[in-house]
Amino acid sequence: MTCSRMLMKMTPRLLLASLVLLACPLAAASLEDKPPFEGHAQLAHFPRPLESYGDRDQESARVKIMSRAAQEPFNVAATIIFGLAVLHTFASGFFRKWAHHIEHVHHEKIERERRTAKDKPHEDAEDDVSFGATILHFLGEVEVVFGIWVLALMAAGVYFHSWHDVQLYLGHDVNYAEPLFVVVIMAIAASRPVIQFAEKCVAAVASLGGGKVGAWWLAVLTLGPLLGSFITEPAAMTISAMILARKIYPLRPGKSLAYGTLGLLFVNVSIGGTLTHFAAPPILMVASPWKWDTAFVFSTIGWKCAISIIIGNALFYFWFRKELAELDHRAHPQEGESRLLRWADREDPVPRRVILVHTAFLAWTVLTNHYPAMFMGGFLFFIAFVEATRHHQNLIGLRSPILVGFFLGALVIHGRCQSWWIEPILTSGVPDWVLLLGSAFLTAFNDNAAITYLASQAPGLTDMAKYAVVAGAVAGGGLTVIANAPNPAGLSILSRFFQGGVSALFLALGAAVPTAVVITTLLVMK
């Protein structure tokens, strides 16, 4: 067994254990613990509430940031660690290539020394494993990068404060509802009944274009993201990525089309949830404090984003129309050819009652997304139902959902420690168009929901400033893996189609054009 295969087997178990530990309050949060900051429920001494710095009257963002860094040195350490984690995501491909090289050298060595599985007397024997290659594979997994750097953040917390504060921060102050929700919604949305139902809906639209590959491509990248406004963006990302993994990527599109499709998917999902006020995380963060309802969100941002999806898809389709036509030939085998389908790829229809039950579980998860005890309980019933109808089901894969949940959990831990410098930038009084562009840029290096949440805490923002922050946050949600919470879900499903893993640079390039389209549309129509 190779190091990469062993890592694939071990990682979900380790991360599941980590998620369970993170989701439960730690024993350190005893009844004697009292909030250190008046008016705030947090129990740890970091990160400090923004009000505690006493700089509300200071207008200069630079002065605010310098003052906060001086008052709380932990801020600087936390941001440096976060920056290193971001750089690590861009360098993940380097670690994967290094791991493959070490693994190759190791395999040649054990063949010479007769330490392979076939050289051992046991039928279930395994190859000797390269510890170094396994570690490098682990360092090259994008989904675990921020979790690795959480260890450095904990060390900084102990150094500047105490181990007790670290326990209180991780076990009490950080809310893991969203990571847990994404784990559950991904698992349900990727089930065979849900995917088959979604495929039928997309197929109905694709049939208008003769069922060609290009028609499927357009239908998935249009309907899937817009569906996110009703079933939440993580579910829409999972369904769209799963259909692309079945209909488009197995046809081996060229590098430009592969990355262009991935970037377009990320951007479209980020803006596709703006037709309502409850589906897109960056809008959900501000809906209550700013009193934004669905009608307001749709009339202010939603319809413009829908137009942006149509324009972006049309531009990409026109550019790649010849290659999409070539892929259509690969999708239809010549006469005399036959394809033996795997059990997981069988096409027998799932009964309507099974689809209905799965849809009900999906709806329950969406409706209770803020209450982990409720949707996790529902998930247990869902697993029982899957087992009772397993002849209609495929194996519920938990590796990808757990990896994504771990990624988001770690991102939440880091993100809460970055408000000290992001908030002054967002509230510095710059022109609205600069604020929109700045929000899009910051989103690329932090979750877009975190950006809008910090803006919601700032008093005195004008209506145009609020619009600029939210518009920039949703527009920049496709530039990087960490820019929008559902992106890791899409990455985990589609990364296997990219040799050596998904390149952060090429992803940004693939998302650049649709991002520019969205920004232009939102600026022109503001």
CA separation for the pair 523, 370 (Å, rounded): 33
CA separation for the pair 181, 231 (Å, rounded): 12
Q: How far is CA 141 from CA 50, 95, 302, in A?
A: 34, 9, 34
Question: Which residues, 6+ apart, have CB-to-CB distance to 123 below 8 Å?
Answer: none
**217 and 141 share a domain?**
no
Which domain range does residue 460 map to?
A: 179-334+346-524
- pLDDT digit string (tens) for the chain, length 526 residues: 455 455 455 555 555 555 554 444 444 455 467 888 888 889 999 999 988 998 888 878 899 999 999 999 999 999 999 999 988 988 888 888 898 889 889 888 888 888 887 878 877 778 888 898 889 888 888 888 889 999 999 999 999 999 999 999 999 999 898 889 989 988 998 899 999 998 888 989 888 888 899 999 999 999 999 999 998 899 999 999 999 999 999 999 999 999 999 999 999 999 999 999 888 888 988 888 899 999 999 999 999 999 999 999 999 999 999 999 999 887 765 544 455 567 777 778 999 999 999 999 999 998 998 899 999 999 999 999 999 999 999 888 888 888 888 988 888 899 889 889 888 887 777 888 999 999 999 898 888 888 888 788 676 688 898 999 999 999 999 999 989 989 999 998 999 999 878 888 999 999 999 999 999 999 988 7
Residue where one domain finishes, among candidates 121, 146, 171 = 146
Whether 247 is covered by a domain: the verdict is yes
**136 and 193 share a domain?**
no
**DSSP labels, 415-432:** HTTSHHHHHHHHTS---H
Question: Which residues, 6+ apart, have CB-to-CB distance to 479 below 8 Å?
Answer: 266, 440, 443, 444, 507, 508, 511, 512, 515
Instruction: Please report which residue ranges of 232-371 form alpha helices under DSSP H.
Output: 233-247, 255-272, 281-287, 294-297, 303-331, 352-367
- pLDDT at 232 (0 to 100): 87
CA separation for the pair 452, 56 (Å, rounded): 19
Exposed / middle / buried, residue 164 (Cβ in 10 Å: 0-12, 13-18, 19+): middle
- pLDDT at 341 (0 to 100): 65
Cβ distance 414 to 153 under 8 Å? yes
How many whole angstroms from its chain centre is CA 211? 30
How many whole angstroms from its chain centre is CA 444? 12
Question: Which residues, 6+ apart, have CB-to-CB distance to 191 below 8 Å?
Answer: 358, 386, 393, 394, 396
- pLDDT at 21 (0 to 100): 47
Exposed / middle / buried, residue 405 (Cβ in 10 Å: 0-12, 13-18, 19+): buried
**141 and 284 share a domain?**
no
- CA torsion sign for 213, 216, 221, 224 is negative
- pLDDT at 27 (0 to 100): 44
**202 and 351 share a domain?**
yes
**207 and 74 share a domain?**
no
| Residue pointed to by tokens 């970037």 | 263
- pLDDT at 147 (0 to 100): 92
Cβ distance 49 to 173 under 8 Å? no
**275 and 409 share a domain?**
yes
Residue where one domain finishes, among candidates 146, 164, 187 = 146
- pLDDT at 5 (0 to 100): 55
CA separation for the pair 491, 237 (Å, rounded): 10
Whether 164 is covered by a domain: the verdict is no
**226 and 371 share a domain?**
yes
**185 and 238 share a domain?**
yes
For residue 275, give the H/E element and its range: none
**256 and 329 share a domain?**
yes
Whether 486 is covered by a domain: the verdict is yes
* Maximum distance among all Cα pairs of the chain, rounded to whole angstroms: 77
> Which residues in 406-445 are b (16+ Cβ under 10 Å) and which e?
bbbbbbbbbbbbbbbbbbbbbbeebebeebbbbbbebbbb
Residue where one domain finishes, among candidates 146, 169, 203 = 146
Cβ distance 179 to 19 under 8 Å? yes
- pLDDT at 25 (0 to 100): 45
- For residue 308, give the nearest of 209, 225, 419 by alpha carbon: 225
**100 and 222 share a domain?**
no
**111 and 190 share a domain?**
no
- Give the count of beta carbons closer than 10 Å to the beta carbon of residue 337: 7
- CA torsion sign for 438, 440, 444, 447 is positive
Number of domains in the chain: 2
**313 and 193 share a domain?**
yes
Question: Which residues, 6+ apart, have CB-to-CB distance to 343 below 8 Å?
Answer: 394
